[in-house]
Amino acid sequence: MVVACHTAYAGVGPDPASSKVSNLAHWVIASHDNDHMPYVIIDKVNAEVFLFDAAGHLQAAAPALLGLARGDRSVKGIGDERMSAIRPQDRITPAGRFVASLGRDPHGKEILWVDYKDAIALHPVVKGTPQERRAERLASPTSADNRISYGCINVPLVFYRKFISPAFAHTSGVVYILPEESSVRGFFGSYKLGAGTGSSTGPGPNTVR
């Protein structure tokens, strides 16, 4: 379910975010880490995406599909691999701070490039194979079945078109992906968010995952 939250502030909305999301959202604004850009926080544990404007107001929230495998770091060279060659245990949505911008996939469809080097993007849910049941997983009331992608973040089409695309239409932004196997403080180092950043320019490698 997509939730619009235009009057909410820093992670507090009609469907309350986890304390990790709220704490990070408050810190982003207090520290100006987003550099006056819109930002997204992705909670892998609960499979949720939260979009904030540059001032820290929560704009919308939605469920997401994430990488099949649990983990916080991409396998080296994964962005150069063909999808058919990526092992199930390597299908990871990496944690970190990423400078993101809109781009196109190899088929010309708009996506938000999160980590261009490792071919990680946020985009509308793709059909996938019949066995993957991506649309059904995204619509289910639980996050237990939301791990299926090759690492990309799949979100509802209406959420992407109504909120993500307009928010990043004329600017870059920051995507924060919370770790699931390490503490936020341990992963980011007392919230000194320098490691794990990625650039997001160019037409994009490989394909949407």
In a domain, 203, yes or no: no
Check pLDDT > 50 for residue 149: yes
Per-residue pLDDT reduced to its tens digit, 98-140: 999 999 998 999 999 999 988 899 999 988 888 899 999 999 9
Check pLDDT > 60 for residue 145: yes
Taking residues 60-64, report their average pLDDT: 96
In a domain, 197, yes or no: no
Check pLDDT > 50 for residue 9: no
Per-residue pLDDT reduced to its tens digit, 173-208: 999 999 998 878 766 654 554 434 444 434 344 444
Taking residues 16-33, report their average pLDDT: 87
3-state SS string over 109-160?
CEEEEEECCCCEEEEECCCCCCCCCHHHHHHCCCCCCCEEECCCEEECHHHH
pLDDT the model gives residue 195: 37
User: Helix or strand or coil: residue 179?
Assistant: coil
pLDDT the model gives residue 205: 46
Q: Select the more confidently predicted residue: 5 or 86.
A: 86
**Which long-range contacts link 182-187 to residues 24+ away (Cβ below 8 Å)?**
182/72, 182/95, 184/20, 184/23, 184/24, 187/72, 187/95, 187/96
Per-residue pLDDT reduced to its tens digit, 26-55: 889 988 999 999 999 999 999 999 999 999
In a domain, 199, yes or no: no
Q: What is the C-alpha separation between 58 and 51, in angstroms, rounded?
A: 6
In a domain, 160, yes or no: yes
56: confidence class by pLDDT, cuts 50, 70, 90: very high
* Number of domain units in the chain: 1
Burial class from Cβ neighbours inside 10 Å (0-12, 13-18, 19+) for residue 106 reads: exposed
pLDDT the model gives residue 193: 43
In a domain, 198, yes or no: no
Residue 150: give the domain boundaries: 3-188
- Residue 199 is classified by DSSP as -
In a domain, 31, yes or no: yes
In a domain, 209, yes or no: no
pLDDT the model gives residue 198: 45
CATH of the domain at 7: 2.40.440.10
Contacts of 105 (CB under 8 A, 6+ apart): 111, 121, 123, 204, 207, 208
pLDDT the model gives residue 197: 42
Check pLDDT > 90 for residue 152: yes
In a domain, 201, yes or no: no
CA 173, chain centre distance (Å): 12
